[in-house]
Amino acid sequence: MIRIIMLGAPGSGKGTQAQLLSKYFLIPFISAGEILRQEIKKNDKTKNYIQNTINKGKLVKNSFIIQLIKKKIKKKKYCNGFILDGFPRTIEQAESLKKNINIQYIIYLKIKHDSIINRIQGRLIHEPSGRTYHKIFNPPKQKNKDDITGELLHKRKDDNKKIILTRLKEYEKYTKPLIKWFRKEIKKNKIKLLEINSNKSITDINKKIIHYINNFKK
C-alpha cells in the first residue's frame, strides 16, 4: 500500500511526476483538477460554478472538492493506494484527509515563480483522459497528438499568463501554509517528506522520487 501526495505550485510538475510514479508503482493517480474538469462535462447545476472558478484561477470551495475526493478514494480501484495530485491545497482539505486516511509520502516539488510562467505556457492536455504534455520538456510522440489515442491536444484555458498569476496568489495564500502544517504532522505521524528542486529534468526528478520511496520500502 502506497499513498503519496504531490505538493507544489501550479506548473511545478506534480501531474507529470504523478503519471510517471503511477506507471512505476502500478497504483492509480488522482488529479483534483482533472476531477473538476470532468465534472464540468457532466453538465449539471455545478458546471458553471466550477468553470467560472477555474477560469478565474481561484480555488473551488473546500467543502465542494472535499466531497468529490472523499467519494473518489472510496472506490475499489484505490484500495491498494494512490497518488494524489492537487489535493489537499488548503489546511482544511488536509485536515479532512487526515480524518479519513493515512498518508505515507509527501513529495514537495519546489520551483521559482519566474520559471512557472514559461512552463505553463507550453503545457498541453488530452482533454478526454487528462494526460498532460509539454511542447518542449515532455513532447508527445507526434506533434499536438495524444500518444495513446492520436487525438488532438489542447491548451488549458487557465494556462495563460493572467490567470496563472491569480493561481500563484492562491497557492501562496492557501497552499504554501500547508507545508508548515505537514512538517508538524511529520513529527507526530510516520509521514515522510521529500523536497525536490523542480528545475531538474523530468527523468532526474522521477529517479530521485523512486529511489527515495524504494529506500523506505526495503
Give least dist CB 22 to ligand AMP, A.
15
And the C-alpha cell for 112? 521559482
Beta strands in the chain (DSSP E): 2-8, 29-31, 81-85, 105-110, 123-126, 131-134, 192-197
Asked whether position 8 contacts ligand AMP by CB under 6 A, the answer is no
Q: Which is nearer to ligand AMP, 33 or 187 (CB)?
A: 33
* Region of 1-9, 83-91, 140-148, 182-190 interacting with ligand AMP (CB under 6 A): 83-91
- Encoded one letter per residue, x for contact with ligand AMP by CB under 6 A and - for no contact, window 11-50 reads ---------------------xx--x--------------
Distance between CA atoms of 59 and 170, rounded to whole angstroms?
7
Q: Please choose, out of 16-24, 81-89, 134-142, 185-193, the segment that lies near ligand AMP by the rule CB under 6 A.
A: 81-89
Distance CA 117, CA 98 (A): 32
Determine if 103 is a binding residue for ligand AMP (CB under 6 A). no
Distance CA 133, CA 127 (A): 11
Residue 65 binds ligand AMP, judged by CB under 6 A: yes
Q: Counting contacts by CB under 6 A, is residue 131 touching ligand AMP?
A: no
Q: Compute the least distance from the CB of residue 214 to ligand AMP, in Å.
A: 26
C-alpha 81/C-alpha 113 separation (Å) is 31
Q: How many CB atoms lie within 10 A of CB 109?
A: 23
Query: Does residue 81 come out as left (phi exceeding 0), alpha (psi in the -120 to 50 range) or beta?
Result: left
Select from 123, 126, 131, 167 the one that contacts ligand AMP (CB under 6 A).
167
CA dihedral 167, 158, 108, 127 (to 10 degrees): 160
Nearest distance from residue 87's CB to ligand AMP, in Å?
Answer: 4
Q: What's CA 154's distance to the chain center, in Å?
A: 18
Contact yes or no for 35/102 (Cβ under 8 A): no
Q: Which stretch binds ligand AMP (CB under 6 A): 59-67, 147-155, 180-188, 210-218?
A: 59-67
Q: Pick the binder of ligand AMP from 3, 13, 89, 96 (CB under 6 A).
A: 89
Note the residues at the interface with ligand AMP (CB under 6 A). 10, 32-33, 36, 53-54, 57-60, 65, 86-87, 89, 93, 158, 167
